[in-house]
A and B are shown apart, each in its own frame.
Chain A
């Protein structure tokens, strides 16, 4: 079953308006224009679509919150700032099927009575930016966006906004600050963006993949959608497979697929012997080979002590030194910490320092305990999700591969000969 990649996976599909219309594009918008706001929101709610950005918040509920708010104007903001290492799913939609996103945003705007939408796209996604820009022009020219869309009394325009290389802007409140022309640093929540969002107005903030489900839900009905995949989070999901796997790529699969099926049936099996797997990028906790039977939905992965996040599945084989991998994760977060709150700003640097020392044979016996303590402090006291999960992968490596750390620290030796101890 394909919902998100149904067009992209067709041969010779170009993603321009002509192709999109040929595949039934903008029919959902036409249908939505004849529906009441309540009816659209009811369909999205009954689909039980969960936000695909990582948090898994019910999409319909979010729309309803904004719909009921009295503040005007209201905004639809699309988060196209995927930056979690290992995530490359939204890029596919942005580059190859941009109209799908525009149509979904227009449906959302119609539901919550908004006339203005914004797409915040990563600065690094040059191609995605170009293709969206072209698509917006096409849609405006053909009255799928703009004033009095398709002869109705509904008007909606979409502006494109480029990020400039800050991972933290993928966090929704940091993204809003960045959109307002400020440094991308998180806000205190609550209030949530649904109530106090862009320019302090009620705002729906959805991920690209979440929105890309909307046209199918409007056309097929919420109930149809809710019966697909796992009952806890229905529908399909884009899984990004990378690392030590034979066929890396983006795979759209029903959410009741297991990790094993994803790696073996789609990914052609691991490259080497599996040592560890990150199911949700470098912010998630490591799973092991014994966890391969886990269902790839938010709830099941959480029960295994990790998180699905954006669906960035990174496979790591047994030639990799987990201390080295943990160090790499720490370096990433130390670089990307925005500096607003002390626990994350200082903690990520400290973690990087400790892990670097361990890899060069300068680790000390108390370092593991110190890292665990750091993880707890960051989890409890950081302002936003970036800080809270910055040391999660490292912590799980410490717990699942204690021998490796011990040998680096006590014997000053990397068992796999990867680190320069």
Chain B
């Protein structure tokens, strides 16, 4: 993978390259495969268990390919006060899945996430990397429907 070779070069094959590599792999494949983990371990001179240990520590790295659209709903206190519980209920109803689960067509997954740093525009959710603010149940229904059509 070209990106990985470049990152390894930038960091001189030092261990600091590990997180940037994991980000790049996540972006390209949506998950860390065993093959890629072994490759990283070899390139960085680390035991494969160490690569797994680091990757599993951070919530942004995944081992299973999730859905095409991962919806992260902020459940931190400011969003919670502004009704993120209702938003979550709408999401579950619209997509007919519970938190942590993937829809049968592999298109959607719902995740609870920690503070996204937009508390003045609460409640907030992410669809992959796009942020939606000042949500209302109605707005969420519209957003979800637009993704369903994509």
A contacts, CB < 8 Å to B:
82-88, 90-91, 122-126, 161-167, 178-184, 240-244, 248-250, 278, 282, 312, 314, 316, 320, 325, 328-329, 331-332, 335-336, 338
Any A CB within 8 A of the CB of B146: no
Cβ–Cβ contact A164 & B60, under 8 A: yes
| B: number of interface residues (CB 8 Å) | 36
> Using a CB-CB cutoff of 8 Å, which residues 11-54 of chain B contact chain A?
14-20, 22-23, 44, 53-54
Give A128 Cβ to nearest chain B Cβ, in Å.
9
- Given A126-B129, A184-B57, A314-B78, decide whether A85 and B122 contact each other with a Cβ distance below 8 A: no
Cβ–Cβ contact A85 & B119, under 8 A: yes
Cβ–Cβ contact A162 & B20, under 8 A: yes
Closest to A267 in B: B120
Name B57's contact: one of A125, A166, A241, A332 (CB within 8 Å): A166
How long is the Cα–Cα vector from A184 to B58 in the complex, in angstroms?
A: 8
Task: Show 19 residue pairs from A and B whose CB-CB distance is below 8 angstroms, ordered by the A residue.
Answer: A85-B114, A85-B115, A88-B117, A88-B118, A124-B126, A125-B117, A161-B19, A161-B20, A163-B58, A164-B19, A164-B59, A165-B113, A182-B15, A182-B54, A248-B120, A312-B119, A328-B75, A332-B76, A332-B77
B113 proximity list for chain A (CB < 8 A): 124, 165
B58 proximity list for chain A (CB < 8 A): 123, 163-166, 184
Tally of contacts, chain A with chain B, CB under 8 A: 123
Give A352 Cβ to nearest chain B Cβ, in Å.
13
Q: Mark B57-68, 1 if CB is under 8 A from A, else 0.
A: 111110000000
Any A CB within 8 A of the CB of B69: no
Any A CB within 8 A of the CB of B116: yes
Cβ–Cβ contact B119 & A167, under 8 A: no
Give B51 Cβ to nearest chain A Cβ, in Å.
10
Cβ–Cβ contact B54 & A85, under 8 A: no
Cβ–Cβ contact B119 & A86, under 8 A: yes
How long is the Cα–Cα vector from A163 to B22 in the complex, in angstroms?
A: 11
B119 proximity list for chain A (CB < 8 A): 85-88, 240, 242-243, 248, 312, 314
Give B102 Cβ to nearest chain A Cβ, in Å.
19
Cβ–Cβ contact A124 & B117, under 8 A: yes
Closest to A125 in B: B117
A178 proximity list for chain B (CB < 8 A): 19
Any A CB within 8 A of the CB of B80: yes
* Shortest Cβ-Cβ A-B pairs, 10 listed: A164-B58, A85-B76, A242-B119, A181-B18, A165-B59, A248-B120, A181-B15, A165-B60, A164-B60, A242-B78
- Given A88-B118, A88-B119, A125-B117, decide whether A244 and B81 contact each other with a Cβ distance below 8 A: yes
Most buried by A among B22, B58, B113, B122: B58
Closest to A83 in B: B115
Name A328's contact: one of B15, B23, B77, B122 (CB within 8 Å): B77
Q: 4 other contacts beyond A165-B60, A167-B114, A282-B77, with CB at 8 A cut-off?
A: A84-B115, A332-B75, A332-B76, A336-B114
Name B16's contact: one of A83, A90, A179 (CB within 8 Å): A179
Q: Mark B82-107, 1 if CB is under 8 A from A, else 0.
A: 10000000000000000000000000
Give B43 Cβ to nearest chain A Cβ, in Å.
12
Give A136 Cβ to nearest chain B Cβ, in Å.
13
Cβ–Cβ contact B23 & A162, under 8 A: yes
- Given A183-B54, A184-B57, decide whether A328 and B80 contact each other with a Cβ distance below 8 A: yes
How long is the Cα–Cα vector from A163 to B59 in the complex, in angstroms?
A: 10
Cβ–Cβ contact B81 & A316, under 8 A: yes
How long is the Cα–Cα vector from A181 to B80 in the complex, in angstroms?
A: 33
Cβ–Cβ contact A183 & B81, under 8 A: no
A335 proximity list for chain B (CB < 8 A): 114
Give B138 Cβ to nearest chain A Cβ, in Å.
20
B59 proximity list for chain A (CB < 8 A): 164-166
A162 proximity list for chain B (CB < 8 A): 19-20, 23
How long is the Cα–Cα vector from A282 to B77 in the complex, in angstroms?
A: 8
Name A181's contact: one of B17, B122, B126 (CB within 8 Å): B17
- Given A166-B58, A184-B57, A241-B120, decide whether A83 and B114 contact each other with a Cβ distance below 8 A: yes
B81 proximity list for chain A (CB < 8 A): 243-244, 314, 316, 320, 325
Cβ–Cβ contact A180 & B129, under 8 A: no
